[in-house]
Structure 1
Amino acid sequence: MCSNEPLPVEEFVANLQAVGPRYWHDHPFHQRLHQGLLSKHELQSWAANRWYYQRSLPQKDAAILANCPLPHIRRHWLDRITYHDGDRPDTGGTENWLRMAEALGLDRTEVLDERHVLPGVRFAVDAYLTFARTKPWLESVASGLTEMFSPGLMRRRLADMREQYPWIAEDGFAYFTSRLTVIADEGTTTLDLVVEHATTRAQQHAAIAALTFKCDVLRAILDTVDYYS
């Protein structure tokens, strides 16, 4: 095969899936979370820092919309912003994450003012936003293929946190319960979109690199929280 020709679809998808071990599912901090070994303070630090990531996701999606010239993809992608921001006040994924933080004993004000966000977390998340704002829209979409790796982890996290931290009110798990209903479909849809539009070998390699970068961003977030908690 000429080096300029695109990889066969099966090989391209396999290369994307091969990035999976870089995902943050087996990070030591996550392992301790699932084993019930985190203190309340560590859980609070995790929630407060991950808030900075969660609240940045609709901004990332808005950057994809701004960079994408295709109306049908923009219409499709708009739903992701609504999912995170909600279609009215006090709804949406970011609101549900705030409820998780409150269930862990944090005051909503101290999460919103980001006083607990560590510099390393801010740096990693800001780098991801810059990526979405400055890279071609297809690369930014491909970075979100971490959705392929997350449904199993999220189901496990919900079950383990309910078992290991029974003091957390059920309302605090709204983020996970609502996310489980959409994430599997989103992962499949995103993969189909990337496969359809990555029509050159260069675009395919860029998509794989984008997914690798996103996994590194996520692990950098946990590295920082793990070190300072």
Structure 2
Amino acid sequence: MTQPLTRERFAAGLYDLRGRYWDTHPFHLRLHSGGCTPPELRRWVANRWYYQLCLTRKNAAIIANCPLPEVRRAWGERLPYQDGPSGDEGGLADWLVLGEAVGLDRAEVLDERHVARGVRFAVDGYLHFCQTRSWTEGVAAALTEMFSPDHMADRVTAWRTHYDWIAPTGYAYFEHRIPTARKDSARTLELVLDHCVTAHQQQAALAALTFKCEVLRAMLDAVDYGADR
């Protein structure tokens, strides 16, 4: 019978998946080095909108699958953060402002006309995963949050350096999200370490985080392939 990993080794195994994160994708390397054209950057923003739309639904799916009230209460805090108390506040509202800051009309973001098939397929697959797998797997998949704050901070620095045509108002999303992601990732890791205690649960959590990294990279594959088409 396979023995579970110690808490320390399990945490290290999750962190070791850092190399699969999408920050090493060729498109992101160009994006952060100043190598993207304005249409390419706009395409990234427009496609990432579809992922933003998915987040509240995937978080609600995790809550629906979880039998523990204390976990549901904690995870439920994510819902109003993304949707906001009104249409003018929250993660979705901030992303629409980012779209306008890079030169997209709000209507063309909202109607998803620029969303690539591959992005739609990857995001829908992620939502389906969270709807049909255990709540611990859904939470583990969200552990890409461990890798995202530094990546987003680097993005802001790079964009301000290389893309001075972006309106300053567009950075509100990242300014709000970076500190929240740092806090969320610590709490998410604790949940996974506390509740994935058998070898099977731990392996499922590692597979879930691997899957999420592949989802993110698949999104960039689609954006990169279609950027000049």
TM-score in terms of structure 2 length:
0.97
Amino acid at match of 2:120: R
The aligned counterpart of 1:99 is: 97
Q: Deviations over 1:137-162 (max 9, x none)?
A: 00000000001111111110011101
| Sequence identity percentage | 55
**Pairwise CA distance, 1:89:** 2.4
- 1:121 pairs, out of 98, 104, 119, with 119
1:77 counterpart (75, 78, 94): 75
Q: CA deviation at 1:134?
A: 0.2
Once the two structures are superposed, the pairs formed by residues 123-142 of structure 1 within 5 Å of their partners are: 123-142=121-140
Q: Report 1:46-195 matches (<5 A).
A: 46-195=44-193
Task: Tell me the residue number matched to 2:42.
Answer: 44
**C-alpha displacement at 1:128, in angstroms?**
0.2
Q: Which residue number in structure 2 is paired with residue 202 of structure 1? A: 200
Question: Whole-Å Cα distance in 2 between the matches of residues 105 and 152 of structure 1?
Answer: 25
Within 5 Å, which residues of 2 pair with 1:13-24? 13-24=11-22
CA deviations over 1:163-199 (Å, ceiling 9, x no partner) = 1111111111111010112111111110000000001
Tell me which moved more, 209-218 or 31-40.
31-40
RMSD of Structure 2 on Structure 1 (CA): 0.8
- Whole-angstrom CA distance in 2 between matches of 1:172 and 1:55: 18
Letter in structure 1 aligned against 2:132 = T
Query: What residue in structure 2 maps to residue 214 of structure 1?
Result: 212
Tell me, in whole angstroms, the C-alpha distance in 2 between the residues paired with 1:65 and 1:113. Answer: 28
How far did 1:116 drift? 0.7
AA of the residue aligned to 1:66? A
State the shift of 1:47 in Å: 0.6
The one-letter amino acid paired with 2:28 is H
Question: Could you tell me whether the CA contact under 8 Å between 2:149 and 2:179 is conserved in 1?
Answer: no
Q: Deviations over 1:78-128 (max 9, x none)?
A: 111111101222110111111111111111111111011110000000000
SS of the residue corresponding to residue 84 of structure 1 reads helix
Q: Secondary structure at the match of 1:15?
A: helix
Q: Which runs of 5 or more residues in structure 2 are unaligned?
A: none
Q: C-alpha separation between the residues in 1 aligned to 2:223 and 2:102? A: 16
Q: 1 CA distance for matches of 2:205 and 2:149?
A: 21
Within 2, Cα distance between the matches of 1:144 and 1:89? 25
Once residues 112 and 194 of structure 2 are traced to their aligned partners in structure 1, the CA distance between those partners, rounded to angstroms, is 39
Residue of structure 1 equivalent to 2:25: 27
Aligned partners of 1:190, 1:46: CA distance in 2, in Å? 27
Structure 1 portions without partners, runs of 5+: none
2 CA distance for matches of 1:14 and 1:73?
A: 23
Number of equivalenced pairs: 227
4+ residue segments displaced more than 4 Å: none
Give me the TM-score of the superposition, normalised by structure 1: 0.97
